[in-house]
């Protein structure tokens, strides 16, 4: 048996295959959990081979134990700048990678002993074309959805929501109406609620239906969540996906061996700066790897933070505001009580005792990392699942505040930061966030729900 490969010599068992292939969607928020899953499976004895697009390609030198197979995508360089362009790009990745992936997967399978060695492909839920390719070549497929169970229920319900007139949104007065089929969602929290045209609505419907097909046709569905966080939504998902095993193995960043898959260079000096700050005093600000904002919103956010008087650490990603910079006078106004870096090691920042709040775009990875760090959140969602995540942070977990869409206003930002970081209300949110941290710790402890799910996933893969 080669190093890093799962043992297949169990008495009375069939010959078991022991290499896992993975294909992430090439965006940071999808790459991270896929590589965390890879690390988890590798630690459990599987060899790992990562297929990947040229766009946002991972750095193989960071993962010397894995094999890498680049798949030419033929797409232009540059990150899509709008929601519609992002959806079109995801569909284009499917189309352009399909033929070269078929060629490279077939070549891998043609190597001596490879068919017996390969256990399955784990593909992102948004890569239906590649799931189909693997299935036609006789490779079992598992699907990883990098969002919440609640969000996937939105995927499943989308046709009914459209039939019932929730979507597309016809008037702004609809936005705060409750969605009785998916409480506590309101219309504004649904995937596609902010679609600005019939074209965007149709793109969203296509993306959701393809993801559902990928999951329903798979040999298993992997979710980066855990039972104590989403018990009801996980139970409903299992009912809706009768026949497809569901593995809630999150939080993956707590179970997987540490290994960075960041596409941006992390500035670790911010951890030393945090060491000098008072406990629970710092507001950490990061709007993720893909979300963007206008220059006007950036200025209002900056002045709201400045006027709050709160110490802050701001991971201000290049390109966040399409070329705009922090406003003149911001550094002077904050008087050395803040630090701005290009990118930060977020998991470590959120686990640091000096951090008392997290202003986030509300992506699922960030929401999970905030919960696991026991840090209350101020959510400013932009698109996709972020609105629903923000709704859960505020209304279900009661561990944060949601700033709904529209133009940011510095007075509202200042007030929200003060609510989050100070006083009885802030302490209440902090206490509930610490309870989420405790639940996550229990899930990943020996005998915890996620540990048991990982055992089930490993056994499931070995028997495919």
The Cα 452–Cα 231 span in angstroms is 15
Per the CB < 8 A criterion, the answer to whether 186 and 178 are in contact is yes
The Cα 33–Cα 316 span in angstroms is 22
Q: Which pair of structure tokens corresponds to residue 76? A: 């232009």
Distances (CA, A) of 389 to 188, 311, 362: 12, 26, 6
Catalytic residue among 30, 42, 52, 63: 30
Per the CB < 8 A criterion, the answer to whether 351 and 374 are in contact is no
User: CA angle at residue 307 from 342 to 334, to 5 degrees?
Assistant: 50
Catalytic site residue 30? yes
Q: Which pair of structure tokens corresponds to residue 246? A: 């569901």
Catalytic residue among 73, 124, 189, 233: 124
The Cα 341–Cα 83 span in angstroms is 26
Q: Which of 228, 289, 360, 318 is nearest to 26 (CA)?
A: 289
Per the CB < 8 A criterion, the answer to whether 32 and 266 are in contact is no
Task: Specify which residues 284 forms β-bridges with.
Answer: 313, 358
The Cα 173–Cα 285 span in angstroms is 31
101: Cβ contacts below 8 Å, ≥ 6 apart: 23, 51, 71, 130, 133
Catalytic residue numbers read 30, 124
């Amino acid at each position: 048996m080669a190093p890093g490969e799962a043992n297949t010599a169990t008495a009375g068992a069939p010959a078991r295959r022991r290499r896992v292939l993975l294909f992430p969607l090439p965006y940071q928020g999808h790459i991270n959990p896929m590589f965390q899953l890879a690390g988890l499976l590798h630690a459990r004895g599987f060899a790992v081979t990562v297929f990947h697009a040229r766009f946002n390609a991972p750095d193989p030198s960071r993962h010397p134990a894995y094999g890498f197979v680049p798949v030419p995508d033929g797409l232009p360089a540059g990150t899509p700048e709008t929601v519609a362009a992002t959806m079109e790009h995801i569909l284009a990745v499917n189309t352009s990678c399909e033929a070269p992936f078929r060629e490279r997967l077939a070549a891998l399978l043609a190597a001596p002993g490879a068919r017996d060695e390969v256990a399955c492909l784990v593909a992102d839920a948004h890569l239906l074309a590649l799931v189909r390719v693997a299935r036609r070549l006789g490779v079992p497929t598992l699907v990883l959805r990098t969002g919440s169970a609640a969000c996937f229920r939105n995927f499943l319900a989308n046709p009914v929501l459209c039939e019932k007139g929730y979507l597309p949104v016809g008037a702004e007065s609809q936005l705060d109406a409750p969605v009785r089929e998916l409480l506590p969602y309101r219309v504004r929290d649904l995937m596609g609620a902010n679609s600005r045209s019939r074209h965007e609505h149709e793109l969203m419907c296509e993306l959701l239906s393809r993801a559902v097909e990928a999951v329903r046709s798979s040999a298993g569905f992997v979710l980066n969540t855990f039972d104590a966080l989403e018990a009801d939504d996980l139970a409903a998902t299992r009912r809706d996906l009768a026949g497809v095993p569901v593995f809630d193995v999150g939080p993956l960043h707590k179970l997987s061996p540490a290994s960075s898959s960041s596409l941006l260079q992390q500035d670790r000096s911010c951890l030393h700066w945090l060491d000098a700050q008072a406990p629970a005093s710092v507001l950490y600000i990061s709007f993720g790897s893909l979300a963007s904002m206008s220059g006007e919103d950036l200025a209002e956010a900056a002045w709201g933070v400045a006027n709050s008087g709160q110490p802050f650490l701001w991971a201000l990603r290049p390109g966040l505001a399409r070329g705009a910079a922090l406003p003149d006078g911001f550094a002077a106004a904050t008087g050395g009580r803040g630090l701005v870096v290009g990118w930060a090691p977020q998991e470590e920042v959120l686990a640091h005792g000096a951090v008392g709040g997290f202003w986030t775009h509300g992506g699922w990875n960030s929401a999970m990392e905030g919960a696991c760090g026991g840090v209350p959140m101020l959510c400013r969602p932009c698109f996709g699942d972020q609105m629903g995540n923000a709704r859960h942070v505020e209304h279900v977990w009661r561990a944060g505040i949601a700033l709904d869409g529209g133009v940011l206003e510095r007075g509202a930002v200042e007030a929200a930061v003060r609510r989050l970081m100070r006083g009885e209300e802030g302490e209440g949110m902090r206490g509930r966030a610490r309870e989420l941290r405790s639940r996550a710790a229990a899930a990943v402890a020996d005998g915890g729900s996620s540990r048991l799910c990982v055992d089930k996933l490993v056994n499931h893969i070995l028997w495919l």
